[in-house]
């Protein structure tokens, strides 16, 4: 019976190859659709993966990573005084206008952090040194965004809002499907980019009875003529009143994060706190459940499975129909139904494995290509690969059950009537 299953498959090689191509298409469709959905889900929290902070502090109005209200830099200073906090660092994450020397303008997400800090570092850095960001108006972008940003090489300069920005490094694959291109820079440069086109004046005063000066930056609009006739001034140091988006917290060893979150929310007004896992989950839930993107990609994965079942079902049913005389002969000489069913199911298993393996190699190749050239993540993990194998076997065996129905109704006498 084992050899019969193989013989049915290999009897007509061109037909076998066409059938396997159909199964490869079905497996590839399922793998790529689920991989795009998984990659999209991971991509929504891409910025968070650049940080090893235990807790993220944000405005209590936060909806998702890119939709929140700013908080003052003074929250960083206050957070450092909270019991259980080992480190606290600021993070700026806001949109700006990218204006290259040639090509169209676009939007970028300015990511400002402390280059000498420990809680945020751009991952997958392939060129450049993060420490060079301490120089004014130096930036790092992702290599997959070079075409959209009209950047060719290190040293290229574009304008961000009204200030020049010089590229000093590249990351690889550090981009988000749902976000504009990331532009990594220092906190002082980020603040300057976001307030560029405005004059700033630093004023300090000593309130009555206080020991420390309170400094604030005030801004007024800068005219286009002034921008053209002067070189950019060095960025001002940030003061307590400047605005940031997040405070990154590293907890002391052994600290209970739930208790630390409660202390931070008590010490800092109008904030919400999230562990790394909670923040990732919040962003993923937003994009999956509150937008149509997650629904469409999920629907695409389901459609891929349905199409796969239909393709495999047609192939197996056609194979059984082509060998109906052989199955009739087996029944006529006394073979049991279960023996014949075993042949069909084994045939389905062979088809599933022989279609799965080349399809998976193809999908891995496509995933690597899209990640390297487009910055789009098609996430195929070992768990998802095993799940797709189970789906493939299920599709083939399930389709074989439908094909078996034709043999069940077969009358062995038909063999002798022809």
Residue range 65-77, pLDDT digits in tens: 989 999 999 999 9
- pLDDT number for residue 205: 59
- The whole-angstrom separation of Cα 294 and Cα 314 is 31
Closest by Cα among 53, 21, 10, 82 to 275: 53
- The whole-angstrom separation of Cα 39 and Cα 58 is 25
- pLDDT number for residue 106: 92
- pLDDT number for residue 227: 40
Question: Using only C-alpha atoms, what is the Rg of the chain?
Answer: 30
- pLDDT number for residue 28: 85
Tokens, residue 303: 């459609």
Residues of the chain where predicted confidence (pLDDT) is lower than 70: 1-12, 197-230, 294, 320, 323-328, 330-331, 335, 337, 375, 403-418
pTM of the model: 0.75
- pLDDT number for residue 293: 74
- pLDDT number for residue 237: 86
- pLDDT number for residue 154: 92
- pLDDT number for residue 208: 57
- pLDDT number for residue 228: 44
- pLDDT number for residue 135: 93
- pLDDT number for residue 406: 62
Residue 148, by phi and psi: left (phi above 0), alpha (psi -120 to 50) or beta?
alpha
- pLDDT number for residue 220: 45
Tokens, residue 282: 């919040």
- pLDDT number for residue 388: 84
- The whole-angstrom separation of Cα 217 and Cα 361 is 57
């Amino acid at each position: 019976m084992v050899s019969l299953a193989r013989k049915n498959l290999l009897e007509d090689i061109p037909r076998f190859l066409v059938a396997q191509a159909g199964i490869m298409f079905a497996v590839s469709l399922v793998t790529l659709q689920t991989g795009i959905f998984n990659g999209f889900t991971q991509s929504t929290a891409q910025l968070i993966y650049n940080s090893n902070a235990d807790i993220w502090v944000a405005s209590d109005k936060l909806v998702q990573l890119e939709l929140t209200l700013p908080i003052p830099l003074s929250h960083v200073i206050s957070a450092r005084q909270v019991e259980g906090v080992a480190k606290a660092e600021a993070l700026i994450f806001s949109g700006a206008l990218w204006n290259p020397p040639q090509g169209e303008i676009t939007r970028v997400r300015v990511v400002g952090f402390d280059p000498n800090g420990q809680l945020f570092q751009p991952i997958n850095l392939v060129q450049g040194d993060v420490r060079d960001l301490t120089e004014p108006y130096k930036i790092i972008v992702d290599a997959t965004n070079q075409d959209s940003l009209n950047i060719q090489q290190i040293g290229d300069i574009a304008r961000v809002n009204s200030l020049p920005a010089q590229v000093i490094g590249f990351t690889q694959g550090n981009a988000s499907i749902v976000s504009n291109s990331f532009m990594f820079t220092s906190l002082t440069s980020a603040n300057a980019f976001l307030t560029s086109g405005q004059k700033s004046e630093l004023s300090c005063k000593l309130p009555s009875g206080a020991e420390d000066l309170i400094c604030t930056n005030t801004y007024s609009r800068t005219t286009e003529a002034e921008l053209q006739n002067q070189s950019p001034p060095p960025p001002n140091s940030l003061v307590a009143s400047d605005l940031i988006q997040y405070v990154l917290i590293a907890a002391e060893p052994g600290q209970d994060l739930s208790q630390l979150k409660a202390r931070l929310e008590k010490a800092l007004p109008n904030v919400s706190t999230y562990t790394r896992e909670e923040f990732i989950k919040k962003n993923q839930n937003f994009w999956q459940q509150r937008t149509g993107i997650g629904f469409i990609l999920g629907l695409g994965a389901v459609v891929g499975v349905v199409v796969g079942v239909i393709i495999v079902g047609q192939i197996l049913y056609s194979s059984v129909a082509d060998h109906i005389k052989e199955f009739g002969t087996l029944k006529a000489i006394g073979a049991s139904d279960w023996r014949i069913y075993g042949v069909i199911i084994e045939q389905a298993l062979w088809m599933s494995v022989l279609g799965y393996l080349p399809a998976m190699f193809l999908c891995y190749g496509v995933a690597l290509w899209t990640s390297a050239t487009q910055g789009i993540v098609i996430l195929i993990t070992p768990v998802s690969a095993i799940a797709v194998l189970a789906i493939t076997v299920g599709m083939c065996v399930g389709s074989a059950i439908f094909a078996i129905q034709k043999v069940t109704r077969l009358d062995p006498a038909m063999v002798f009537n022809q």
